[in-house]
Structures are given as C-alpha cells and as structure tokens.
Amino acid sequence: MSKPRLDDATGVETVGHEWDGIEELNNPLPRWWLWSFYACIVFAIGYSVVYPAIPMLNTATAGTFGWSSRGDLDKEMKAESLRTAAIRSELDKASIEQIATDPRLRRAAIDGGRAAFKVNCIQCHGNGAAGSAGYPNLNDDDWLWGGDSAAIHQTLVNGIRQPGDDATRMSMMPAFGRDGILTAPQVQDVVSHVRLIAGEEKPSASAQRGAEIYTANCAVCHGANGEGSRAVGAPKLSDAIWLYGGDRKALTQTITNARYGVMPSWGNRLDPVTVKMLATYVHSLGGGEAAPAPAADPAAPVAPATVAQ
Amino acid sequence: MNAHDPKMSADHSNEIGMYEKRKAVFPKAIDGAFRRFKWLVMAVCLAIYWGTPWIRWDRGSYAPDQAVLIDMANRRFFMFNIEIWPHEFYFVAGLLIMAGIGLFLVTSVVGRAWCGYACPQTVWTDLFQHVDRLIDGDRNAQLRLQKAPWGPAKIARRGLKWGIYLGISFATGGAWIFYFADAPTLQYEFWTGTAAPVAYATTFVLTMTTFIFGGFMREQVCIYMCPWPRIQTAMLDEKSLLVTYKDWRGEPRGSVKSALKAATPLGDCIDCMQCVAVCPTGIDIREGPQIGCITCALCIDACDKAMADVGRPRGLIDYCTLDDAEREKRGETSVPILKTVFRPRTLVYLGVWSGIGLALLFALGQRERMDISIAKDRNPEYVTLSDGSVRNAYTLKLRNMESRPRTFRIELRGLDNGTIYTDEMDSTAARRQLTVEVPSDTTKPVRVYALVPRGSAPAEFALVLVATDKEGGTDISETTFTTAQGNGQ
C-alpha cells in the first residue's frame, strides 16, 4: 500500500491504493451510516430468531413468535366466521320462504350461496351455473322438479336418484329401445313426434305414427302435449330447452336407453344454513319462480318495478 | 498519476478513515432580509401543515365537513369544494405532474429555492436550531456546552432540549393523521385510546423520523440521503440564480488591519468567517457552489451585515447567475433580473405547467357527477329460456357522486324488441326502462337482465342512465346482446 496523498484535481485525499495508475479518492461514508448498517444486522438477527427464517431439511425454523401464514389464515377465518355468525344464526332460524321475502336475509344468503356454489357445485353445473349436457342450466326457467325456493331447497337436501336417501326424488323413464318396448323404427317415429311438438321439425308421416306411440307410452308422464310433469320429474318436451340435447341422435339415445342423471343429496354434507344459502342463490340466478300462492291468497304479490334499497 | 508523487504529504500515516464522524454544525443567529423571509416561509408552511385539517367546510349532511380530507376508508379525497373519486385520480396525478414541473420552473429560475426555504427538512431543521439557541444560547455557547463534560447542568439542558425536540416531533407526527380522518373526532379518540392502531403507529413513526432527522441528522439528510440536490444540480443552468461568493471582488481576503499593512490592495472579504458561522449545513460558500449548499441565503445576510460594519457595499455574497458572474468578472454589467427570469426555458416550463393546470380546471368543470358502467356476464354468455326467448345478464355500476340520494332511470337504447328487469323484480315486470334510487356518494351495483323473444338476432345496444331530478344529466354505456348466433359485433 502506498501512502495517501492529496489529489490535485479535486483536493481530496486518496486512500493510498493504486492499481495500474488508478487511485481511489477518500470520500468517507458518514459514520451514522455504519451504525445504521450495524443496526440492520442486529435487526436481521432478531428477525431470524423471532420469525421463521432458516431453512432446515423439512421445514424452516419456527421462530419464537410462532408466526405462520397458516396461522394468519386461521385467525382470519375465525374472525370471518365470528363476523357472519349473527346473520348465519338468523338464516338458520328463518325458513327458506322467509329468506326469500326478506331482502336483507336474501342478499346475505345470495352472497354466501355464491361462495358455496363455487366450492361445491361448479364441478357439474359450471362456474356460471350454465350446466352442460346432462347437467341442468340453473340460469334458465325450466325446472324438472320445480323452481321455487322450497322446491330447489328440497332438491339440494335430498338430491336426485341419490342412493341411500329415502327422500330423494327419482323418475324412472323406461329404456324403450334397449328393453324391447319399442322397435328401432318406432323410436325414430317418437323422435319425429317429440321434435314436432318442440317446434324443431315440420309435420311428417313419421311424426304422425309417432303421435300414436307417444300417446300410448309417453303421455302418462310427459303429458298429452309434452307439457311434462314436475310431480314425477318428467321434462317438458314442448319447450326450447333440452337437458341431453334435442337433435335426432341425442333423442334417439334418450328414448332407447333412458337417462338417469344423479344429483347428490347435500343435506348430509353441508350444514343447513349453507344449503339454504345455495337454494336462495340458485333461485336468484334468473329462473327462480315465485312460491306457489296459498289457496286463500287471491293473487301473488305484484313484483315491485323499483329496485329496493 | 504517480503514487510516489513528491507532493504526497509526509505527515499522513497509513491509517485511512473509512467512515467519518458527523461534524456538528452550530449555526449562529443572524438577522437580515433573507432571514426574515425564511421566518415568513417557515410560519406559513407550519401554519398550513398544522392548521389545514382543522378547517371546516360544509358539504351538507351526507359528506364530511373537513375542508381537506383524504378518506382512505371510503376512497374519497376532499379538498374544499372539490371531491375526487378513485376513478378521477388523474386529477391528483395531474397535480403531481404540476408539482414536478413547478420544481423544474423554480429550479431553473431561482436554483435550489425549494431546499433553502420550503423543504420540510429545512423548515424543521431551522425550527430545531432555534430551539438549540433558546436552550443552549448562540453558536459559541453551544460549542462550549458541546465540549463541556457531562454534568448535572449539561444533562438538564440536553434533557430539556431533547424534550422540546420530542414535543415538536410529536406535534408534527400527530398532525399528519388528521388529514386522514375527521380531526376533532380523531383528536378525541387519540387521547382516549380508542383511535385505530394505525393512527398511533403513524404518529410514532413520524415522531421518531422528525426527532431524528430534524434534531440530529439535519444537513446529513440533505447531503447523503436526499436525491433531490443531485437531480437539481443537473437542472440548473448558467442562468439560474445561485448563492455566489464574488471572489473577483473578495479575493485576496484579509482583515481590515492586514489590508492596511498589505503591499498590494486586498479584496473586500475581511475573512470574518461569519458566512461559515451562520451556515446551517456548515459549509464555506467561498469555496464555490457545492452539494451542501441549500441556498438558504443566510450567508448573504451575514456578509451584508459585515460589509455594513466595515463600510463596504453589500452583496459580496449574493444571488447571482453563472453568466452574470462571468460578466462581472470582466467588469461588465449584469443582465437585468427580469431578463434572466423570463427566458425561453422558463417560459416553456411555465407554459407546460399552466397548460396542465388549465386542462385540469377545465376537466374539473366538465366532469359528470353520475356514471353508468356495464359488465356483461361472460359465463354464461346467454341463457335460452323455455319459450325460446334469450336472456343476457349484466352487472351495472351506477355511480352517484352527489352528496344526496338521486333517482335515476335506466333506459334501453337499441335492442328494439328487448326488455330489461333486475334480479329483484319478476321477469313478467320486464320493460324498456327501470327506475333505480342510488344513495348519496355511492356506487350501486345492479344486476340487470335483458330479454328478447325467440329468433331475435344478436345486437349492439346501449343503456342510458338518466337523472330524474331537476338538475338532470345523462350517461350512456354501450354493450352487446349475445344469442346462439353470436354477440352482435
């Protein structure tokens, strides 16, 4: 090391190092900067002791504060359940019809139902509840078993064709083709007739033949004009909505082999409040029907034209 | 350069100080035109800072009555009769741009005037240095006390002084939080221990930063921590006003007595060191412009006083541009101040600055106090109903920025065979227009369904929000209607 000297151009002392003629000016850092640096080191040591820091084989050191992000989540979830406890107990006490008529309860149930739907229902019914072939679209106004809040609630609680649930609802359409009740040409005639009453095809000789077969075999559940029956879960055939598709191929398949879609019963999987919230949410998707008016009530209440606060 | 330069000082050891202890600065009290101006600026700045949150401003019963309020919880910014919503943040961005360009303007005209007069670091350091003088006495007494050993008297003085520092710091840190909540309420909550934890945390942090930066770090903040002096150095040009020691007039320096004895005439500088003694950053301005000079001009006051005492003209240290310095050196007269101030560069800055200001004012006058925005459901895009009619769903955000509830009409424009209804109505009540009440100062989400009969084509259409009160107003938002055939675009 050479000796420090004064640099001509700047009037600053050099530190005395020289590498190939390059020297360094001695512009010392302020000492408080050094102290801040030491303070940071001390802080870092303290931080590594009290918080999880040092990676070990399987996990990191726990830290004396016992902090963890899971613990944070746990706290948040507890706080959230505490926050919603009041409204949940109200929803618990209220019947599904009471929830439907109380705007505040209804709004809370819809919000909670939306969250529960995302966890439990979208696997089959889709994120937007639009369903797909075999899984009903919950946004529309076509309901196999009824579209008022109570009917949706019952479907949710007991499911459809849920094995082992005595109260589950089921319809057993015969497999007309596979079981030999109808021949393959007869099945095609029925397809023609069904598509005619749905407005998908023009009248034909096949449809005319199919009408007779329909009256003999199908009308008992689906109604003389294909209006369906919610009592037995028979789909309406005259509308624009098809659960498994309305083209000839899909209908042939349906009539030949029948379809037995299963909806799980949720009454034994989710708590009653969540089921009520789900029913209210599904009812709110745009196809929900008003509760059937009691016999004594002359008319259903007129829907308000103004959006309530 | 050669490391074995013969000029190498022989008395230096090989010990290199990598870190430098702060050299404490004890600026001497001074009076003068610039000092009085600094007093004024300090008083105004502190009054604005401490007073603003307590100004009341009546906005009716639906809005807070604090004149200046940054309402984080409700996402509103109130400033007298202006209320800014988050989506109008471009006003704040515009103000920040104006502040930036304003600094360009100020810097190119009067150099580091921000540093010298208005910067909070300068204002609070100045305030704390007055506390030093109040408790310890002026420069010489402070120096003596600094050197004195620790004894009861020194401990008492230091304790008292740091106590006052802490009091001022607490008042400073505590005042900040009043910009973010109703000041009288928060004041009460603060003292009763019921305020939000963030209020105490903020107060604590700002108290400590004020205490440390204003009480102890002082000029170190300007020299080592602040990027602004370095940026400003790049923005200065040869026509910016700087605090300048006129060495062509002052040198060679010497006392009045030595001037009498000297063979050749000396300059005007009597080497009284008053300019160094009063400097709040502890520099010697006679070494020329430097990063430590915040251009507070106290050395001008000190030098003027000294010059008056010895009967020489004032302005040996003065505000002067580099151009003028060259001229004066050559014995020419300096350029008139107005000509220096109004030059193309400053005029361009002024033009841009005032242009943005006028544009903001114009936008402020033009802005609508109501708004509709539409988010169309994409999942599912459309729903076919049993009668073959098709339904699309939209989430509307209706924004009422007035501080009173308003009733709006949502009208369907286009989609000729369509009707709309909300999720709180029955679909049988669908119609071409709906009435919605939106509470004061609120964005209300409304879920709207649009319905067209079987066989309708996809289409583009719009929803119009119409205020039904006498002030009126409309806003329109366009969207599309999707069917199995497409989305109308």
- pLDDT tens-digit map of A193-251: 999 999 889 999 999 999 999 999 999 999 999 999 998 999 999 998 999 999 999 99
Does the structure show a pLDDT above 90 at B404?
A: no
> What pLDDT, in 10s, does the model give residues B418-432?
999 987 787 888 899
pLDDT band at B271 (very low <50, low <70, confident <90, very high): very high
| Nearest Cα residue in chain A from B451 | A286
B229 and B252 both lie in a single domain: no
Domain containing B250: what range? 239-335
What separation in angstroms does the CA of B481 have from each of A138, A284, B417, B424, B425?
A: 20, 21, 12, 21, 20
pLDDT band at A304 (very low <50, low <70, confident <90, very high): very low
Contact list, B224 vs chain A (CB under 8 Å):
30, 33
Report the pLDDT value the prediction gives residue B358, as an integer from 0 to 100.
96
Question: Given B276, B308, B335, which residue is the final one in a domain?
Answer: B335
Distance from CA of A289 to the nearest CA of B (A): 9
**Which one, of A208, A209, A237, lies nearest residue A224 by Cα?**
A237
> What pLDDT, in 10s, does the model give residues A13-57?
888 888 898 888 888 888 888 999 999 999 999 999 999 999 999
B138 and B182 both lie in a single domain: yes
Q: Which residues 180-219 of chain A have a CB within 8 Å of chain B?
A: 199
Please, what is the Cα angle at B69 between B64 and B70, to 5 degrees? 120
Report if residue B26 sits inside a domain. no
List the single range of A251-260, A279-288, B186-195, B294-303 with lowest mean pLDDT.
Answer: A279-288
Does the structure show a pLDDT above 70 at B26?
A: yes
Higher pLDDT, A161 or B81: A161
Report if residue B103 sits inside a domain. yes
**Residue that is written with structure tokens 């955000």 in the block:** B397
Question: Given B189, B215, B234, which residue is the final one in a domain?
Answer: B234
Does the structure show a pLDDT above 80 at A4?
A: no
Contact list, A149 vs chain B (CB under 8 Å):
none
B134 and B230 both lie in a single domain: yes
Residue A61 one-letter amino acid: T
pLDDT band at B5 (very low <50, low <70, confident <90, very high): very low
**Residue that is written with structure tokens 């050299």 in the block:** B23
Q: Which residues 255-294 of chain A have a CB within 8 Å of chain B?
A: 284, 286-287, 290
> What pLDDT, in 10s, does the model give residues A70-93?
999 999 999 999 999 999 999 999
| Nearest Cα residue in chain A from B21 | A31
pLDDT band at B16 (very low <50, low <70, confident <90, very high): low
Does the structure show a pLDDT above 90 at A9?
A: no
| Nearest Cα residue in chain B from A242 | B386
What separation in angstroms does the CA of B406 have from each of B214, B468, B471?
A: 50, 8, 10
Report if residue B38 sits inside a domain. yes
> What pLDDT, in 10s, does the model give residues B350-375?
999 999 999 999 998 888 888 999 99
Distance between CA atoms of residues A136 and A243, nearest Å: 6
Report the pLDDT value the prediction gives residue B12, as an integer from 0 to 100.
47
Q: Is B150 helix (H, G, I), strand (E, B) or coil?
A: coil
Q: Is B308 helix (H, G, I), strand (E, B) or coil?
A: helix
Higher pLDDT, A20 or B489: A20
Q: How many domains does chain B have?
A: 3
Distance from CA of B260 to the nearest CA of A (A): 32
Residues 6+ away with beta carbon under 8 Å from A300 = A290, A293
Report the pLDDT value the prediction gives residue A18, as an integer from 0 to 100.
84
Report if residue B354 sits inside a domain. no
Percent of chain A with pLDDT over 70: 94
Q: Which secondary-structure segment (H or E) carries A24?
A: strand A22-25
Query: Tokens in use for B163?
Result: 């106590």
Distance between CA atoms of residues A152 and A280, nearest Å: 8
Report if residue B488 sits inside a domain. no
Does the structure show a pLDDT above 50 at B79?
A: yes
Contact list, B446 vs chain A (CB under 8 Å):
307
B284 and B228 both lie in a single domain: no
Percent of chain B with pLDDT over 70: 97
> What pLDDT, in 10s, does the model give residues B90-149?
898 999 999 999 989 999 988 899 999 999 999 999 999 999 999 999 999 999 999 999
List the single range of A23-32, A224-233, B296-305, B320-329 with lowest mean pLDDT.
Answer: A23-32
B286 and B142 both lie in a single domain: no
Q: Give the neighbor-by-neighbor strand order of the sheet with B459-467.
A: A306-307, B433-438, B406-413, B459-467, B474-481
Report if residue B163 sits inside a domain. yes
**Residue that is written with structure tokens 């004066």 in the block:** B328
Name the DSSP letter for residue B462. E
Name the DSSP letter for residue B62. T
Report if residue B214 sits inside a domain. yes
Q: Which residues 348-387 of chain B have a CB within 8 Å of chain A?
A: 377-380, 383-387
**Which one, of A117, A115, A187, A118, lies nearest residue A152 by Cα?**
A117
Does the structure show a pLDDT above 50 at B2?
A: no
Q: What is the pTM of this model?
A: 0.74
Query: Tokens in use for B468?
Result: 């039904």
Does the structure show a pLDDT above 50 at A303?
A: no
**Which one, of B397, B403, B356, B349, lies nearest residue B90 by Cα?**
B356
B157 and B295 both lie in a single domain: no
Question: Given B335, B360, B380, which residue is the final one in a domain?
Answer: B335
Distance between CA atoms of residues B179 and A274, nearest Å: 43
B208 and B266 both lie in a single domain: no
Report if residue B21 sits inside a domain. no
Complete domains list, chain A, with CATH: 1-65 (no CATH), 86-166+269-283 (1.10.760.10), 184-257 (1.10.760.10)
Does the structure show a pLDDT above 80 at B268?
A: yes
| CATH number, position B398 | 2.60.40.10
Cβ pair B12:A5 closer than 8 A: yes
Contact list, B378 vs chain A (CB under 8 Å):
128
Of B19, B426, B449, the CB nearest to A30: B19
Name the DSSP letter for residue A164. T
B70 and B145 both lie in a single domain: yes
Does the structure show a pLDDT above 70 at B283?
A: yes
Report the pLDDT value the prediction gives residue A5, as an integer from 0 to 100.
82
pLDDT band at B20 (very low <50, low <70, confident <90, very high): confident
Distance from CA of B431 to the nearest CA of A (A): 9
Report the pLDDT value the prediction gives residue A88, as an integer from 0 to 100.
94
Contact list, A1 vs chain B (CB under 8 Å):
14
Mean pLDDT of the region B5-10: 42
Distance from CA of B379 to the nearest CA of A (A): 5
B97 and B207 both lie in a single domain: yes
> What pLDDT, in 10s, does the model give residues B215-252?
999 999 998 899 988 888 888 888 899 999 999 998 88
Distance between CA atoms of residues B476 and B467, nearest Å: 12
B176 and B268 both lie in a single domain: no
Q: Which residues 1-40 of chain A have a CB within 8 Å of chain B?
A: 1-8, 13, 15-16, 18, 21, 23, 26, 28-34
B449 and B310 both lie in a single domain: no
B226 and B247 both lie in a single domain: no
